[in-house]
A and B are shown apart, each in its own frame.
Chain A
């Protein structure tokens, strides 16, 4: 296996606040990695810096051997790294179908090519409800449907690494039970996943390896199974929910 994404000593600051401090992490090709930690630990800022949404204050980000730190988000997605953002950020005033076409914006030929139409059908097979709703405004969808749309939109750029920020936020457990298996399937088909998740139990169940972030730093890392039985993790992140 080769390193697909390598982050070295990344720092992100907002004014005088240091949101991410000296974070290093690795995602190998086809790997499923999660970052867990409490609200405000710096997980989302880490993803945003990788995706080019915020500029890192320091550090290296290497995708597929090429440095991408400081690159604009619209260029990062062209290199095969796609983000499903926190809060989903779907285009609520456009139809489901138009949201999907926009997901293919970075691809050659834009929304018109046969390959894009095929991918659209693939998304409809993954989430049949989106097919029923394809002409509806995205803003009229339920929270779970919006998350399905955000995932599909992220996939339409044909990424090699999909980063998903706080997917569970505001969603019912029943919805999560349909979403997480889909992501697992995508990973089995070869897509590398970097998941940021407050629901540590779920993240540790699905991800091969995980990082634990606390106070802007990486506190622990290792195979998810080991972390799930680590005293510190159980106490701080799994305590109330009890690892199953």
Chain B
């Protein structure tokens, strides 16, 4: 019983990260019908830069803000140079290559500057585990899924209460219709990439105390976050969060009851099976793509 609870809580922690990454993919896809495959590296940027700033004696809160700021700039610039020129119609797929390329370059550069080893990011959330019915869990691990759910709730309110939020949904729904009511689709795309990258940077900072920060941490997180976004249904923010949390929990149960080695095989097999049964993802909406 306490073992199962242990896996469940740990799974929530890692699933919360997948959820946060997937929300970023959802936001980018909604506005641009393209995503940044270097989004995992945005997490890396957030985590690694926070550690670098701390090394330079900058206080934690400021280090976090600065790192998120850099992540935002990264996302906005990337949208401009690697997505916008390569996604001018629904059939364009050049952005897949350009964003992957930028991710690889960023990862190489980070390896040179930061070193090829992992370092922990200090956090009061991993000082000592709290015990719930015999299962030990760090506050940090509980904080992550909480933040993921909170962000979906806040995003929902933002998209219902503000003109910019409504515009994001309008652009996601139909770009032509958005244009004729006066929405500059490119501005909304830029804002969306800034928002997704801010959340990506934050996700990296949140996860670094638990899994450690390294130049290569982004790759698998990015791929799993993308997988979760696809199986959750990339058009649904709550959908991708639910899928992220479930995926994390399933991973930890496989870890615990089968083996760590089986984790990726089982996880990605599930992804394929779900996609066969639900091509739009579990909570997704069929997209009308008019070429």
Residues of A within 8 A of B (CB): 51-53, 72-74, 77-78, 82-83, 85, 89-94, 98, 101-103, 105-107, 110-112, 153, 157
Contact = CB atoms under 8 A, between A and B. Distances in A.
Considering the complex of A and B, which 9 residue pairs feature the smallest CB-CB distances, nearest first?
Answer: A106-B182, A89-B177, A110-B163, A73-B179, A105-B182, A77-B182, A74-B184, A111-B163, A74-B182
Q: Is the interface of B mostly helix, strand, loop or mixed?
A: helix
B163 A157 contact: no
A91 B173 contact: yes
14 contacts: A74-B180, A74-B183, A77-B182, A82-B180, A83-B180, A85-B177, A89-B180, A91-B170, A93-B169, A93-B173, A94-B166, A94-B169, A98-B166, A102-B183
Given A89-B174, A91-B174, A98-B160, A53 B169 contact: no
Contact of A92 (B173, B183, B184): B173
A107 B182 CA distance: 9
A112 B166 CA distance: 13
B182 to A, nearest CB: 3
B173 A157 contact: no
Given A94-B169, A94-B170, A77 B181 contact: yes
Given A74-B184, A77-B182, 5 more contacts: A52-B179, A85-B177, A91-B174, A94-B166, A98-B166
B167 interface: yes
B203 to A, nearest CB: 27
Nearest to B285: A93
Contacts of B185: 74
A168 B180 CA distance: 20
B62 interface: no
A98 B163 CA distance: 9
A72 B169 CA distance: 20
A90 B177 contact: yes
Contact of A85 (B169, B176, B183, B285): B176
A157 B181 contact: yes
B12 to A, nearest CB: 29
Nearest to B185: A74
Interface of B: 160, 163, 166-167, 169-170, 173-174, 176-177, 179-185, 285
Contact of B180 (A73, A92, A94, A101): A73
A72 B185 CA distance: 10
A152 B37 CA distance: 40
A82 B176 CA distance: 13
Contacts of A103: 181
Contacts of B174: 89, 91
A102 B166 contact: yes
Contacts of A106: 181-182
Nearest to A72: B179
A101 B183 contact: no
Contacts of B177: 85, 89-91
A78 to B, nearest CB: 6
A90 to B, nearest CB: 7
Contacts of B182: 74, 77-78, 105-107, 157
A153 B166 CA distance: 14
A85 B181 contact: no
Contacts of B169: 91, 93-94
Contacts of B179: 52-53, 72-74
B249 to A, nearest CB: 29
A119 to B, nearest CB: 14
Contacts of A112: 163
Contact of B166 (A51, A77, A101): A101
A77 B176 CA distance: 13
A74 B171 CA distance: 12
A141 B42 CA distance: 42
A90 B176 CA distance: 11
Interface centre among B163, B169, B179, B180 (most CB of A within 10 A): B180
B266 to A, nearest CB: 34
B207 to A, nearest CB: 32
A59 B184 CA distance: 24
A53 B163 CA distance: 22
Contacts of B167: 102, 105
A89 B181 CA distance: 11
Contact of A89 (B163, B176, B183, B184): B176
B180 A85 contact: yes
Given A53-B180, A157-B181, A105 B173 contact: no
